[in-house]
Each structure stands twice: as C-alpha cells, then as structure tokens.
Amino acid sequence: MNIAILTSSRADYGIYLPLLQELKKDSFFNLEIIAFGTHLSKKHGFTLSDIIKDGYDIIHEITSLVEDDSEKGIAISYGNTVLSFADFWSVHKYDLVFCLGDRFEMSAAVQASVPFGLKLVHLHGGETTLGAIDNIYRHQITLASQIHFVASNYFLNKVRDIIGSSKAIYNVGALSLDGVKKIILPDWSDVRRLFDIPNKEFILITFHPETINPNQNKIYIKTISEVLNKLCEKYHLIITMSNADTMGGLYRKSSKELKIKNPNNITLIENFGKYNYFAAMKASKILLGNTSSAILEAASFGKYAINVGNRQLGRLRSNNVLDVPYNKTLIINVVNEIINQGLYPGINKYYKPNTALNIIKIITENEL
C-alpha cells in the first residue's frame, strides 16, 4: 500500500512520529514523506533536517510560504501552497494520504487534492479552538477526508456531525501520547548542555497569536512581556518560539527583546524536537502559554498548565489545565498558586494505549 504523510511543521511531525516508526517497520506499506510549510523555513529552524536525519527512503520537499505573516501574507502563502500541490498531486498518486490537525498550510495541501480524488486520512479532527482561525481549517480538512482518527468520543461525535455520517470515524486517542508511559526520554542534563540552558528551576512557555482577533495581539504581547519580565526575577524561563501564524512575527520579536533585557534568565528555543521537548516538559515546574501541547500532553507528565486567553477556547481539557485571561496580576497570581503544588495526579483525557498500532490495524483489517 502506497502511503503519503503530509507534514507542514515541527509540531505535526512530532505527533506523527509513533505512526511513522510503525509504518517504516511494516513491509506492507510504501511510505513517502511530503514536507512543506515551515519545515523549509530557516526562520523557523529548517526542521526538514530532522526529517532527513530520521532516514526515510523518499522525502518530497515543497516550498510555498512567503516571509510575511500579515493577513495578506498568510493568504498568499495559502494560495501558493494550493498551486504547488496542484502540480504535485497531478503526478503523484497514493492509496492513502495522511493529514493532521488544523494548520492553514495543511488545509491548502488538502484542498488542492480534492479534484484528484485522493483518499485522505485525517488525524485530530473534531477538536475546537475558537480563538484561532485554525478552527476553520481543521473542519475544512475533515470535510475533505474519508477516514478519521480522533482523540476522544467527544471529537468522534463532532466529526460525525460535520460530515453527516458515522462511517470511518475511529477513536484511537492522541497519537503524540502513544507509548508515553514507556518512552525513555533524553536525560535533562544532556538536553540542558545541548541547548545551553542553565541548571535552574524553570517554567516552560509557548505563546502563539490569537488569530480570530489579530488586532488584539499587540495588547496581549504587552501583557505577556510584563508577566515574563516579572517571572524571570525568580525563575528561569524557557520560551519555545511562535509558529507561522498571522502576526506570529510580533511574538517572536517580543521574545527576542525579552531575551536581550534578561540574557541570563531566559532561553529561547526554535526547535527542541519532540523528545527533548518532552524532557523539558517533564523537568519543568509548570507550563504557561496558549499552546495545544500543554492541553494535550502535559497531564501525561504530571504537569499543571496555565492556559492564557482564548486561543484554545473550546478544546477538551484534563483537570491539570487552569484557564486565565490576559491580565498581568491574574496570571502571576495563578503561577504563584500552583507552581509548588507538585505533580498533577489525575488522568489525561486524550490518552489511549497503542494508538499507532490501532491505526494500522484498522487500515489493514478494514481494507481502507
């Protein structure tokens, strides 16, 4: 069976990894990687190099993003991606094409495939992020796909409502958590040395723009800067950089300015890689920001996550997530309240065992 994997960023590639590892081992599948989006952007760490290091036989590279994260720039990148994939799909045919999540780059690649009648497999459909335009892209991808692997029964019902059918929707849990209880993570002391991180207690931080209300982001950035300037008086801050969203460049600029003001108390990370990031999560005191990773994954490492603002509004949460608005005093108070509470003892609502193997089993047994 000829399988293609669409990957547009460090984030979705990290999620795919358990599935990719199983597909590589199974001779039934001929696996090809289609790398595009920020994988080929030097500004975002040129994470194509990570894919190449993992040793796949066939890796296609498609460049389509422009170096402009304004509303117009995002629209141009979307159009460029559609055009690039129109050429690609016209000469490459597959039995199944995997797509994941809700990025605009992923949506563009998927929409370009529709006239060619490709069979699409969507991972993480049915989820909701009311504070980001990604919510629209996710549902577009769901409507274009024929097979759906979701992370909970709640999302299964949502996908059923979107497509108007119960056919080929499977709850397999969150793929990124596959094997999380058995993963041997890199030693944190080795990760620290690799990224030149001081041996101090730290907060792991990721902020992305709220793309539903882009004009509010300058206000949010001011609040974030005030909060982080205060927190780094007491804690080291590890900040992973924003992705290629509308106005993402403003967040990146603000992070760099914070680093200049607090060179010894802030570490900026462009690309940890999945397992180094998990090691950082496990070693952190808490997580702070508005990234989906904190909501999906932190509970599996016993970490509390402070989710700021509305970007993740509507997404299913485990009980380790504390929501707070963009307010300096409130954010700092919540940090101070939970940072010494120890490990979160509850469950992760996104976890199910053997996700990757169950995906492969469903595909092969049902001849999808």
The whole-model pTM stands at 0.90
Check pLDDT > 90 for residue 243. no
Task: Return d(Cα 78, Cα 55) in angstroms, integer.
Answer: 29
Task: Return d(Cα 22, Cα 29) in angstroms, integer.
Answer: 10
Check pLDDT > 80 for residue 330. yes
Instruction: Return the minimum-mean-pLDDT range out of 84-93, 114-123, 269-278.
Output: 269-278
pLDDT tens readout for residues 200-212: 999 999 999 988 8
Check pLDDT > 90 for residue 30. yes
pLDDT, residue 213, reads: 80
Same fold, 2-178+351-365 and 188-338: yes
pLDDT, residue 276, reads: 96
Radius of gyration of the chain (CA): 20
Check pLDDT > 80 for residue 247. no
Q: Which CATH class is domain 188-338?
A: alpha beta
How is the chain split into domains, by residue range?
A: 2-178+351-365, 188-338
How far apart, in Å, do the first and last CA atoms of the chain sit?
10
Residues 2-178+351-365: name the CATH superfamily: Glycogen Phosphorylase B; (3.40.50.2000)
At 53, list the tokens. Answer: 């290091």
Check pLDDT > 70 for residue 244. no
User: How far is Cα of residue 315 from the mean position of the Cα atoms in its chain?
Assistant: 14
Mean pLDDT over 333-360 rounds to: 96
Mean pLDDT over 340-360 rounds to: 96
Inter-CA distances, 226 with 196, 213, 223, Å? 25, 21, 5
Task: Return d(Cα 108, Cα 99) in angstroms, integer.
Answer: 11
